[in-house]
Chains A and B, each alone.
Chain A
């Protein structure tokens, strides 16, 4: 009947382990689904593995582009690591083995290029703007950015320290609207989570997040969003041991195939 003391200690230890601050990096491999003949074309410059560190907001698009890349270049494998841009920049500056870095803002790319950790100059490949996300029923009947300042409204935004939060601040300044958010999250995913769970009446996220969330949230565009356009740069990491393949991947992202995937997801062209 009694639980053994050893087991209790083991549980305690496990609890401590699980309790640690955990980063939100996810690592996935876009598995090269065997090309059905059709995809077997073009730029077969190199073989091997290319490791891509990409901003979390690029998860859906880069996973797709990676499998297209693997299909177009038989024998290659793309390893993807998604996390917040600043996390990735830190990881690369600490020597993480990345070949390509795609950031969600120019600031984090600058951190690496200033430290001479980037090969050549970064290329801007996509833009993203903010959009208001509300629960599908839009219970607070929000129609404009100014509506977000209505008293009693539960609005969730990103903290000014992260890219989506600094974009929010810019829009606030441009429109002369001061928001009183109930929470300032450290990632756009957390903002979206508060809206999809119905906790918040509205949240400020990127256009692509609304598109990606499917029907779980309703997006409300506002014209002032062009005051804060976020630019996504991509570059080959200086310490890459497979620069040929890294460049080929970047060419795919910035080329017509990549552009189509990105614009389908709601990204703009820089």
Chain B
């Protein structure tokens, strides 16, 4: 697996180096035509939505109490879910990229499963796990913890669907970074925890950052699992996508305006992340 074949999302460093070394881009013209079609396919619907926005009412629509409450809830829960994704996803990525144990492939397959699972299915699965009648629900209920219909349920649903994004990004970054520096640190007497803290994590920080941002963006858009598992109540569980879905029933203008807000937030978040890793990648990179 050479750095040339690495996808953009996981190997900034490799790509930057590669291009600096040879200056060869080698993209046939016809690929640009197809790429243009691909870009249009994504941009045209967004443009169509922007054209539908009732600009005269835009500000009142997006600053209504229910809209602001939903946006605030979405941002708060997505931030919490991203932290949870980092806490659970970094160890998973490390174990998948560095360790070797029986059942590793199976573990990877299961960790990645939420990527291809319809979110509604995720919601049903969570319901049967943390719900009142669920696998853990009874014990939790006994302990006085009720997750269903709470903001915690929203965070769990978001974490469930967003976790693979962080794991995939970080595992890719770890593999691209290789183990040379870690091995050197170990031969110099560093303990595994020190190697992890001082060498591995700093090396893959760009990958971790972009993984975290992808997770955040995925959390922001989470709909199916939340609706199935957490319900929909203003200020508690009704995130922006749920608010949009509901507004659409009565007020198409409001739904379009809110959709635009969600797109803007997502673009800002993703745009931010795609700048940062590039800046970091300008530092001496470990791969060659």
Contact = CB atoms under 8 A, between A and B. Distances in A.
A190 B104 CA distance: 37
Interface string A161-176: 1100000000000000
Contacts of A159: 232, 246, 249
A199 B250 CA distance: 28
A36 interface: no
Contact of A186 (B11, B115, B221, B249): B249
A18 B117 contact: yes
Interface residues of B, number: 56
B37 interface: no
B246 A186 contact: yes
Contacts of B238: 184
B148 to A, nearest CB: 5
A198 B131 contact: yes
A12 B248 contact: no
A86 interface: yes
Contacts of B149: 154, 182-183, 199
Interface of B: 1, 5-7, 9-11, 100, 104-105, 108, 112, 114-119, 127-128, 131-133, 148-149, 161, 164-165, 168, 171-172, 175, 218, 221-224, 227-228, 230-234, 237-238, 241-242, 244-250, 252
A181 B172 contact: no
17 contacts: A5-B6, A11-B112, A12-B9, A12-B115, A18-B116, A18-B117, A18-B118, A19-B161, A19-B218, A159-B232, A183-B237, A184-B231, A184-B234, A186-B246, A190-B232, A197-B133, A199-B132
A199 B146 CA distance: 10
A15 interface: yes
B10 to A, nearest CB: 7
A159 B6 CA distance: 47
Contact of B168 (A1, A8, A161): A8
A133 to B, nearest CB: 15
Leading 5 A-B pairs by shortest Cβ distance:
A183-B231, A15-B115, A198-B133, A182-B149, A161-B249
A12 B127 contact: no
A15 B10 CA distance: 16
Given A12-B165, A159-B249, 16 more contacts: A8-B172, A9-B9, A11-B168, A15-B116, A18-B117, A86-B249, A154-B148, A156-B231, A162-B246, A182-B233, A184-B232, A184-B234, A185-B232, A186-B245, A190-B228, A199-B132
A1 B231 contact: no
A159 B115 CA distance: 30
A15 B164 contact: yes
Contact of A1 (B104, B133, B148): B104
A182 B175 CA distance: 46
A246 B107 CA distance: 54
A19 B165 CA distance: 12
Contacts of B175: 2
Nearest to A8: B168
Contacts of B221: 19, 21
